[in-house]
Amino acid sequence: MTLFHVENLKKHILYNIVNPIVKCCIYIILRGSQLGPVQRGARDLAAAFSVPTLDGRFVYEPGLFRGSLVIHAFTNKSAFLESLWSSAEALAPLVHELPQSAHVLFLSLDDSALSDALWMKEQLGFVSQRGTLSRLHFSPVPVFALGNWIPAVLNSWGCTTHNCGLSQAVFTSGEWKMPVIVKRLDARYDWLTKRWGQRSYRLVDAGDGCVPSPGVEGAVAWVSEDGCSFFTKVQSLAKSNVSGVLVYAGPGKPIRDMTCEGAECDPPALDVPAAMVHLEPSVVQALRLGQSVNVSFQATPSPKFFICIDQQGALVEMGGFLYPTFKFINWQAQWFDFHTRLLSALQIPATVLSVFDRVQMQGQRGARATVHLPPEVLDSDLLELEVSLTCPSSRDMSCAHWDRTVQLFVCCDPQSEHCNTELGRWITAFRRGSGHWLTDVSPLLPLLDSPTCSFTMKTDPWAMPWVVSLNLRFNSAPLRPFRVTSLYTGGTFDKGYNERYQTFQFMAPDSTKKVELYAVITGHGSDENECVEFCVTSHHFTVNSVYNNTLTFNAADSPLGCTLKVSEGAVPNEYGTWLYGRGGWCCGLQVDPWRVDLTQQLDLSGSNSVLYSGLFEDRHPNPSAQPGYIIMSSFLVFYK
């Protein structure tokens, strides 16, 4: 697009779009309270709005809009957003993988909204082979002039956390009257885990940083982006005992995502902070003249860059972008699709009993309730657990840190061997409160062997609180489980792990038509092999010394393994390393039972056996120190 065309488009927008906006604002003032309250809280229903776009007008009308909506507010003051919008690799997922149900509205927080909208549309056009998608909408009106509720939400939800807010480098020198403040992008979260301290550092020119440099010990190395990889620069300068590495982009080049590549990512993370900034001439000149330059690092709050409206019309937080790619928008949209399917499944008629309704779960006690089961429930064939975990407040940042195991235990007969048996298992999300799942645990129906049952849901007693809701959903099915026999539990995944297990002998009860292996297995902790959370383990149940039924956690060493589970309910865009595949679980997801029909492997009229073993790389575990552990509940389930 030529400068002539841009100027003509500006005139068109000024006369045909901005003026109507001014008139609209006057009309809004005259109407006053007829607009209703401004929507500001997460989970509030979003009010109607419309905004001008480069192609006309985007209209959101509650109840009429089909799909989910992501609202993205761009600002050129953010190095993170600059990197996001300057990389074809980061942009491509938006035009090639965005779910069909999702729309994205692009806004700008700056006065340059028109040129920003044109630039954003052009950038996406470069990576699209079929033109910009019709579900992407670009507004040339700056956020502060929208005249609706969006600016209030963006500002009230503003933040300074990782890749949210404005990260900046502040340069000072005795030769300057004023500091020089520039935007910066810190190295990717999972590559360099050390962050900048709250102090001033001496800045030293280290050339391209590709080899160790004398005279930089204790200082921040100022290096160009040329010559070698980011990893090589940081690794070589770390050998010189620098306090940090500051890479500057070449003239006219954008700030890039600093990360490792391929085999560079295998060694342990380097213990040095690093960031990228633009080339600042005054800094270059001062260093060339031998003048003293110091640098410090700060974060300035900004409006939120991303907010969402789900398919039910509720305002929802986007969560965290761990690095610059639009995949995070796609994952959030996938979760909205999942949640819509879940809500549809909950409309299927069933007998529903509420156990917990927004009860706080914390401490040794957890959440507890006693439920009286009506007679018709005791005759059911199908049992599903509808569980949600939310934050103490409507905002994600009130949610607990880290991923924790949540277990539901049931006891219906205090004298029974099955009293306080695990009925379900989930993993908490890292500071995100949108978890909602439906888990089929029908094989464990025989555990509900009394009209009155006590339920306990708990996580680590030292963890921050969660607000839990639990409904039991009963229905009918072709076969009914009538007996459950406990098999094996897990334990420390060390040299003696498999020595603890003995062959289990059993006979099928009379009238048995089907026998099923039912197991819930997750691996946690980390030894020198990153076992068991991040290593591939296999779990073998050998039946009658012939049939090997194996569950292998192949995704445990995958950097994006849990992103593939978003469509199954894994909460996306958490503030921890939720993307990595793990040993049988994902952050913010239910642990699905593993079920195997053993009927054809058994002699239903005679004696049978089963033996369990857990292996690491097809051999018995043998860590040198700090072994991980397996949490396992396993059963034989008999149907008639």
Name which of 9-18, 204-213, 585-594 the model is least confident about: 9-18
Of residues 385, 386, 353, 355, the one with CA closest to residue 370: 355
Q: Could you tell me what percent of the chain has a pLDDT over 70?
A: 92
Question: Which band of pLDDT confidence, cut at 50, 70 and 90, is reported for residue 91?
Answer: very high
Tokens matching residue 171: 């340069």
Model pLDDT for residues 59-88, shown as the tens digit of each residue: 999 999 999 999 999 999 999 999 999 999
pLDDT of residue 636: 98
* Rounded mean pLDDT, 137-144: 98
pLDDT in tens, 182-215: 999 999 888 888 899 999 999 999 999 999 988 8
| pLDDT classification of 17: cutoffs 50, 70, 90 | very low
| Band of residue 15 on the pLDDT scale cut at 50, 70, 90 | very low
Q: Is the predicted pLDDT of residue 384 greater than 50, yes or no?
A: yes
pLDDT recorded at residue 552 = 98
**Quick one: pLDDT at residue 25?**
38
Question: Which pLDDT does position 436 carry in this prediction?
Answer: 98
30 pLDDT tier (thresholds 50, 70, 90): very low
| pLDDT of the residue at 1 | 41
Amino acid, single-letter form, for residue 115: S
**Token couple for 136:** 């992407």
Token pair of 266 as six digits = 């295998």
Q: What are phi and psi of 210, to 5 degrees?
A: -80, -15
pLDDT at 288: 95
Mean pLDDT calculated for residue range 464-481? 95
Per-residue pLDDT reduced to its tens digit, 488-547: 999 999 999 999 999 999 999 999 999 999 999 999 999 999 999 999 999 999 999 999
Half-sphere exposure of 34 (CA within 13 A, CB side): 6
pLDDT higher than 70, residue 23 = no
Q: Token pair of 202, please?
A: 């001496």
For residue range 253-300, what is the model confidence (pLDDT) as tens digits? 999 999 988 888 876 678 899 999 999 999 999 999 999 999 999 999
**3-class state of residue 163 by DSSP:** coil
Predicted confidence (pLDDT) per residue in 564-580, tens digit: 999 999 999 999 899 99
Q: Higher model confidence: residue 130 or residue 250? A: 250
Q: Taking 60 as the threshold, does the pLDDT of residue 32 lie above it?
A: no
Return the CATH number of the domain spanning residue range 3-162+303-309.
3.40.30
Confidence class for position 39, pLDDT limits 50, 70, 90? very low
The single-letter code of the amino acid at 522 is T
Beta pairing, strands 244-248 & 220-224: parallel
pLDDT at 7 over 80: no
Q: Which residue from 484, 506, 329, 495 is spatially nearest to 416, judged by alpha carbons?
A: 484
Going by C-alpha positions, the residue among 553, 558, 637 that lies closest to residue 599 is: 637
Phi, psi of 336 (to 5 degrees): -60, -40
d(Cα 31, Cα 25) in Å, to the nearest integer? 10
- pLDDT on residue 190: 80
Residue 241 pLDDT > 70: yes
- Give the number of other Cβ atoms within 10 Å of residue 58's Cβ: 17
- Determine the average pLDDT of the residues in 15-30: 36
279 within 8 A of 250, measured Cβ to Cβ: yes
Confidence class of residue 3 from pLDDT cuts 50, 70 and 90? very low
The tens digit of pLDDT for each residue in 286-344 reads 999 999 999 999 999 999 999 999 999 999 999 999 999 999 999 999 999 999 999 99
Is residue 8 classed exposed, middle or buried when 0-12, 13-18 and 19+ CB atoms within 10 A define those classes?
exposed
The one-letter amino acid at 55:
D
- Predicted confidence band of residue 130 (pLDDT cuts 50, 70, 90): low
Tell me whether domains 166-300 and 479-640 share a fold.
Answer: no
- Residue 557 is predicted with a pLDDT of 82
d(CA 315, CA 337): 15
CATH class of 166-300: alpha beta
Per-domain residue ranges of the chain: 3-162+303-309, 166-300, 346-478, 479-640
CA separation for the pair 170, 342 (Å, rounded) = 48
Query: CA 451, CA 453: separation in Å to the nearest integer?
Result: 7
- Options 2.40.50.140, 2.60.120.230, 3.90.700.10, 3.20.10.10; which CATH number does 479-640 get? 2.60.120.230
Architecture of the 346-478 domain: Sandwich (2.60)
Which carries the bigger pLDDT value, residue 133 or residue 235? Answer: 235
Q: What pLDDT, on the 0 to 100 scale, is given for residue 26?
A: 32
- Would you say the pTM of this structure is higher than 0.85? yes
The Cα 265–Cα 442 span in angstroms is 43
Half-sphere exposure of 86 (CA within 13 A, CB side): 14
Residue 625 in this model has a pLDDT that exceeds 60:
yes
pLDDT at 210: 95
Residue 225 CB partners (closer than 8 Å, separation 6+): 247, 248, 249, 250, 253, 256, 276
Task: Round the average pLDDT of the chain to a whole number and report it.
Answer: 91
**Rg for the chain, CA atoms, rounded:** 29
